[in-house]
Amino acid sequence: MEDHGIPVISLSGEKGGDILLSLSGRLTLENLEMVDRELRSQLAGLAPASLTVDLAGVDYLDSAGALVLVLLEKGDGSSRTIPQRFVNVTPQAERIIALLNRLDLNSQHLKSVEHFSIFEYAGEATFYIIRGFRHIMTFFGELLVAPFHAVRHPRLVRWDAVFVQMKRVGVDGLPIVGLISMLVGVVMAFMSALQLKQFGADIYVASLVGVAIVKELGPMMTAIIVAGRSGSAFAAEIGTMMINQEVDALVTMGLNPVRYLAFPKVLAAILVVPLLTMYSFIFGIGGGMLVGVLGLDLTVFTYVQQTLKAISTFEVVSSLFKSAVFAALIAGIGCQRGFQARGGAEAVGSMATSAVVSAIFLVIVADSAFAIVLHYISN
Amino acid sequence: MKPVSSNEPAICVEGLDAGYADKVIFDRLSFQVERGELFVILGGSGCGKSTLLRLLIGLKSPSAGRILINGVDITTADEMAMNGVRTGIGVLFQSGALFGSMTLAENVALPLKEYTNLSPDAIERVVAMKLAMVSLAGHENHYPSELSGGMVKRAGLARAMALDPSILFFDEPSAGLDPITAAELDQLIKDLNRGLGTTVVVVTHDLESIMTIADRVIMLDGKKKGIIAEGDPRELKMHSQDPLVQSFFNREPLKTVL
């Protein structure tokens, strides 16, 4: 009859009359579908007027197993209902069936799944962009006021937080900035050496690497690394604080969240990223020198001298200024995205992603603007 | 999900030692929870209630002793055995711990999709039943952020019950709820315990809840690093001689000699 508790269904009685349905084995979540399918197919041919369900052989019944039986009577919205009565029911099974009988199992969904048309998407996206732009403007407005407040009340600036952030953004980023800058220097030197060697102009490898690293690649690579490491971290930290109502707590204590949370981060980034950029110059040029000395038979002295000849103090200073602007953009947008987080964990993740993407975009836009402005200034 | 032997206790804790770093929280703790019982772990703040719950649901390992859940020692069980234990238990966390990016239906369907081979149609029917059980019929497409605190907890309970576990654990179910919602949740816990025969373990310090739902309680004390009272809460309130138990049940400050 029964094998390893697999349910066995047997039906007896006349077509169109009262049918005796005997069940045995286990009626559980695992065999819900099998029992349901079997019952419906067997009952379809008999078209019973009513059912007597004998549970004498059932050794275990859970709520899913009981659901199959209850839905025969109550219907699942797609099939006709069959009046039924249960016999040989254990007290526990009786309680489960009674519990299910009290439930509204065919309720309509109170909210339908939202399907947007392309126009609704476009409209939503437009409003999102407008709201986002307004939020950015408000945030950067407050951020610009913060330094004046800091000058008037220097004791109110959270210097301890500034130093912690300087360590996180700067000191902790030293290994990765050094490594990537050195590799970029090596690649630049290799690629340029292949071409310049043909003209016997090996020495200009030093000039090319020096100019590229100092004017563009140093600030840019450092900014991208800082955006990936710290911009996302700022967004995630402030985003989590938003979700946990910690920012609301600051507001109710009369503290300005932008001044309290964002300003120390932005200030720390502005102070430390130019130093990181200097560090990247050294490692980038060092990488080029490695190739020059080991691969092109140049001496360290010649390489350094040629590099110094190729880059001017103005270029170094303008690049450091540029990197400070990049830092402000990265830290600012990271914090702003954090303040925009609403809802739950997913919002924090998407804001951290958005912080990195927006920061890199802004850095490239700012770099283009610097390229044009510096071109006219230097000429 | 799986039927379990009705002879063995649902939970058996033997000689449990546990703590954090150099702080001992439990020293040789032992107790049992019988099958179908509504069992409450209570005590003041910092006595180790939440730590005990984490130990019972396998989120923390003890330094010594055994914890048998449905007859399986979870302190020595391998990953496969632990998965078997996990399908037999459900946990309602204090905040509900629903996934904010999923609808209620998706939250409840998650364990069903992971642990069964049911078709989407069958899962939909089971989800509707579970939501109806916690009085959330029709809320399938709502997101947790669209619900009140009480509804989130009930939805968390629907998810905890998805696989018809034989043991349900509740961490401070009435925390943060208004008295009416808390009473409704207590009634729901009681109904599910009686109706489905599920063993229920509740960690709480809410006196009203304890008196309403508990069949049996153990009271923990941080100083004694274990149980200071055990039994029917109504009996304990009337007859216990322990000053801490008396203060707890009568909601009075602990009398200290100045």
Residue A111 has its nearest CB partner, among B125, B142, B196, at: B142
* Residue B229 structural domain: 36-50+87-249
What chain B residue is nearest to A59 in terms of C-alpha separation? B3
**B142 lies in some domain:** yes
Helix axes A232-243, A345-378, angle to 10 degrees: 140
**B63 lies in some domain:** no
CA dihedral angle for residue A185, residue A187, residue A191, residue A193, rounded to 10 degrees: 50
Interface test mutation site (partner B, options A28, A29, A30, A96, max chain B beta carbons within 10 A): A29
Q: Which pLDDT does position B20 carry in this prediction? A: 85
Q: Please list, in sequence order, all residues whose beta carbon lies within 8 angstroms of the beta carbon of residue B9, skipping any fewer than 6 positions away.
A: B32, B33, B34, B35, B68
**B60 lies in some domain:** no
> What is d(CA B198, CA B35) in angstroms, rounded to the nearest whole number?
8
- Looking at the complex, report in whole angstroms how far the Cα of residue B2 sits from the nearest Cα belonging to chain A: 8
Query: Taken in order A36, A38, A40, A46, is the CA torsion positive or negative?
Result: negative
Considering only CA atoms, which of B180, B185, B178 is closest in space to residue B157?
B185
Q: Which pLDDT does position A3 carry in this prediction? A: 44
DSSP string, A76-122: -SSS----EEEES--HHHHHHHHHHHTS-TTPPPSSPPP---HHHHH
Interface test mutation site (partner B, options A35, A61, A63, A242, max chain B beta carbons within 10 A): A63
- Looking at the complex, report in whole angstroms how far the Cα of residue A138 sits from the nearest Cα belonging to chain B: 26
**B243 lies in some domain:** yes
> What is d(CA B227, CA B218) in angstroms, rounded to the nearest whole number?
6
**B158 lies in some domain:** yes
Q: Which pLDDT does position A366 carry in this prediction? A: 96
**B82 lies in some domain:** no
Using a CB–CB cutoff of 8 Å, tell me whether B4 touches chain A: no
Decide if B125 and A92 are in contact by the 8 Å CB cutoff.
no
What tens digit of pLDDT does each residue of A29-60 get? 888 888 888 888 888 778 888 888 898 888 88
Sort out which chain B residues have CB atoms less than 8 A from A93's CB and list them: none
Decide if A100 and B129 are in contact by the 8 Å CB cutoff.
yes
Q: Report the CATH fold assignment for A8-101.
A: Transcription Regulator spoIIAA (3.30.750)
Report which DSSP code applies to A219. H
Q: Which pLDDT does position A1 carry in this prediction? A: 35
Sort out which chain B residues have CB atoms less than 8 A from A346's CB and list them: 100-101
Q: State the span(s) of chain A assigned CATH 3.30.750.24.
A: 8-101
Q: Which pLDDT does position A2 carry in this prediction? A: 39
What chain A residue is nearest to B112 in terms of C-alpha separation? A29
What are the tokens at B55?
């130990």
What tens digit of pLDDT does each residue of B73-85 get? 999 999 889 888 9
Contact status, residue A58 vs residue A26, Cβ threshold 8 Å: yes
In which residue ranges of chain A is pLDDT below 50?
1-3
Q: Which pLDDT does position A208 carry in this prediction? A: 93
Tally of structural domains, chain B: 1
**B81 lies in some domain:** no
| ipTM field | 0.79
Report which DSSP code applies to A8. E
> What is d(CA B64, CA B47) in angstroms, rounded to the nearest whole number?
19
Which 3 state secondary structure label does DSSP give A305? Answer: helix
**B93 lies in some domain:** yes
What chain B residue is nearest to A64 in terms of C-alpha separation? B126
For residue B136, the domain's CATH number is 3.40.50.300
What chain B residue is nearest to A71 in terms of C-alpha separation? B125
In which residue ranges of chain B is pLDDT below 70?
1-6, 255-258
